[in-house]
Chain A
Amino acid sequence: MAAAASSSSTESPETTTERRGIPGAQFVEDVETYLSQIGLDVNSALAFLQERLQQYKLVEMKLLAQQRDLQAKIPDIEKCLDVVATLQAKKGTGEALIADFEVSEGIYSRARIEDKDSVCLWLGANVMLEYSCEEATSLLNKNLENAKASLEVLIADLQFLRDQVTITQVTIARVYNWDVHQRRIRQTATSSTAKVS
């Protein structure tokens, strides 16, 4: 899956890149040129930029939720790997593994796990499959790697998004200041013409 992202240090400031459906924020070299380019007056431009900011915030919340899910999933998979590894270690010794497990909140029961070559893995959607210990380990490792890779992509997406938010906030401030500046110039111009006449 190709992400159309480019590193910001080599990218030309005029191009607007987009990344996985997130539109890039256009960097503004000069406020006046920007306003004439988009053909909007100051207030409409500000409204447009504010709306963009809201959209970015929505996407950010969605990505943060996905990140939280993944960050919870990874320790889960690592715990499963731990259990399978322990079972495998016990295999050679011939003794059974005795474990206390939770039956319900506050109630625990003792289990005696004999030497077995296979484990059952919960795959989700009410499906549980039996695997040999080695297959289980490799499947869990693969899931762990996928989860970690997805998390990395997600974190990069979030960074890109936050950069666009920053650019948009700075642009809003600059457009607003330019407008204030223009009004001041116009005011001094009218007051000085008033004085002259």
Chain B
Amino acid sequence: MQQGTGASETEVTWEDQQNINKFGRLNNRLHELEDEIKVAKEAIDNLEDASNELILTDEEVVRFQIGEVFAHVPKEDVETRIEEMKEVSSKNLEKLEEEKESVVAQMAELKKVLYGKFKDSINLEED
């Protein structure tokens, strides 16, 4: 995202500068959120696959990874654990999506304000 000002006479006030700074921060946060959402979605997919595998297996004891080791855990305990982990992951994903929506909305607002004042002199699009 470039923030150039063109060859016009529009003065840049402190408030404008703060808006530009805020837009920059929000843009960074948006990229971070998109990465985090991708990771969270992958985690949920993995947990889904794991619980599907569990249903198919007929072994009584499952090797469940805790830290760096695989502990022998009875199947029901593993099922419960995976359900809990899925809950936590989907709540986390929801929170991230909500934050992303709010960031996108704030950025749209700021774009309106900044384009309103600077028109062509400023570029707020992704390169």
Query: How close is A180's CB to chain B, nearest CB, in angstroms?
Result: 5
Contacts of B24 in A (CB 8 A): 162-163, 166
Does B66 reach chain A (CB closer than 8 Å)?
yes
Contacts of B6 in A (CB 8 A): 177
Residue of B nearest to A158 (CB): B28
Q: Which of B7-15, B49-57, B97-105 contacts A (4 or more CB under 8 A)?
A: B7-15
What is the 8 Å Cβ interface bit string for chain B, positions 10-33, against chain A (1 contact, 0 not)?
A: 011110011011001100100000
Q: Is the CB of A170 within 8 A of B5?
A: yes
Q: Is the CB of A181 within 8 A of B7?
A: yes
For chain B, the count of residues having a C-beta within 8 Å of the partner chain is 26
Residue of A nearest to B16 (CB): A170
Interface centre among A8, A111, A159, A173, by most B CB within 10 Å?
A173
Q: Is the CB of A86 within 8 A of B28?
A: no
Residues A100 and B3 in contact in the complex (CB < 8 Å), given A163-B25, A170-B17: no
Q: Which residues from chain B sit less than 8 Å from chain A, CB to CB? A: 3-9, 11-14, 17-18, 20-21, 24-25, 28, 63, 66-72
